[in-house]
Structure formats: structure tokens, C-alpha cells
Structure 1
Amino acid sequence: MTQKNAALAKHKKELDKLETSLGETKAALDEADQGREDTPERQSLISTLSSLQSQSTALQAKLSAFGAADPIKYEKKKQAIDTCKEGAVRWTDNVMILMQYAGGLGVESGQVRGFLEIGRWS
């Protein structure tokens, strides 16, 4: 009998905890609902939000239709191309300076081009 009484007391204690927790949760829910009364202003804001979300979706679809012509992608590609051009010019200048320096030391330009694996240019 004592085991049954102990188990019953344990379960009653757990039930009391759960009822207390339920009461606290209901109170928190009621408190959260206080700012959500269905007022005309809230309805207006909800409809504005809905229209802005649909407008945003339409604009996103329109932007994705551009594909490769997306202005942001275009700008990134343009910057990458400019960086590559600057690098090519820089290395061309470096090679020309090296060719002039090696020529001043008496090294033939063909040897330098062969060492750098550069073909003949016009």
C-alpha cells in the first residue's frame, strides 16, 4: 500500500506542476494576444504587408527573368574583366622590362622567350 501511496503522491505532485505550468502558459498567451486585437489599423497594416510581399515576389520574378543581364552580375563580371586586363598589362610590362634588361646584358631575346615559354609576337 505504501508503494501505491508514494506513486500516487508522486503523480499528484507532477500533476500540480503541470497545472501550474499550464496556467503560466495560458497567462503568457493572453498577454501576447493583447497586442493582436483585430483593429482596423492592424487590418490595414496586414493588407499593406500582404500587398508589399506580393510586389516583392513579382519584382524577384522579374529580376530572375533578366538572367545574365542582371545588373549586379554584370557589374561583378565587369570588375573581374578589368582585374584581368590590369594583370595582363602588368605582366606584359614586366616581360618587356625583363627583355630590355636581358638585351642590355647581351642575352638574346629568343633565349628569354624560350625560358619564359613565350611565343614570338608581332
Structure 2
Amino acid sequence: MSKKKGLSIEEKRTRMMEIFFETKDVFQLKDLEKIAPKEKGITSMSVKEVLQSLVDDAMVDTDRIGTSNYFWAFPSKALHGRKQKLEQLESQLTEGTQKKQSLQQSIENAKVGRENTDSRAATLKELEGLRQQRNQLKAELATYQGCDPEIIKEIRQMNKVAKDAANRWTDNVFAIKSWAKKKFGFEQNQIDKTFGIPEDFDYID
């Protein structure tokens, strides 16, 4: 029989925050060392380490009163922090959308003559960079799945907008390839090779 897998550090952090949010109370370390193992399955030996990591990330507040340290975290502050993070992500997504629009305009300009292959290669390289940025943002957004449902809903809607924008750009690339094939009689693999289009270039699922 396999040994039961312990909690990851992120799972411990999440469960520790649940203690604060559910009780809306102030605790000493010794209190949490008793509560966490019993109610959240966090070993008492790891409570101090988990708590310190949350304090370092400004997710839990602490203050010394007399000879004792007290810890607390209220949902209102956590929500405010998530909203600030969301605003930062929205700004990054907006910037990415503007760059995509600029690239779309470059595609339209490239339809005339199509002599500037260096420009096209640079455009494709920038597109790949934006796709990687989008994937990084998507991964970062995934870490906030446990947040407020309304915030998650907004994030998913923004993610769909970014995905649709990238796919519209991909539409333009395919349209240009079709135009070049009809205009100059190039085969598709010849077009891809000439302009540095990757073999796996396709829509985002």
C-alpha cells in the first residue's frame, strides 16, 4: 500500500489562510499550532514555516504586543490584494492586445508587394513572444482559481478576448498565405519556408 502523500507548501498556505478567513480572529503561533493540525491537516512542525511565508508575502499581518506576537488576515484585505493583481494583469493584457493590433496592421501593409521578408520574420518573432507572454499570464491567472468567483469570471472573459485576438491574427496570416499562393503560384510549404512560418503554426485552442 502506497504511503499517503503529504500536503504541498501551496496547499498548506491555502489551508492556513482558510483558518483566518473562516474565523476572522487573531491568533498567536501556539494557537495555530494546535488548530492547524486538527482542522486543516497541517503538521504542527510546519505551521511556523507556512505562517512566516504568508507574512513575508504580506498575506498575513503580524504585530508584537508585550511579549507575544499576534497574527491575523481578513478577507477584505485579501480581496483588495487580488483586485490590485487583477488590475496589473488587465494592464498587461491590454498592452498585449494593442501590440497584436499593431501587428495586424503590419500584416495588412505586408500584403502589398511582400518584398520585405525581414519585416515579416520580425513580425512572426514578435507574435511568438506575445503568445509566450499570453501563456505565462494564463498560468499566472490559473493560480487565482481559488479567489472570488466574480473575479475569476472576469479573468476568464479577458482571457477569451486575448485568445480571440490572437486567433484573428492567425486568420490574417492564413489569408496572406492563400493570397500569395494564388498570386505567385507558391506551394504552401514553400511559403512557410521562405517566410519562416513554423510547421506547427495554428490557432490557439
Q: Which has the higher helix share?
A: 1
Q: TM over 0.5: same fold?
A: no
TM-score (norm 2): 0.25
Question: Higher relative contact order at CA 8 Å, sep ≥6: structure 1 or structure 2?
Answer: 2
- Bigger-Rg structure (1/2): 1
Q: Which has the higher strand share?
A: 2
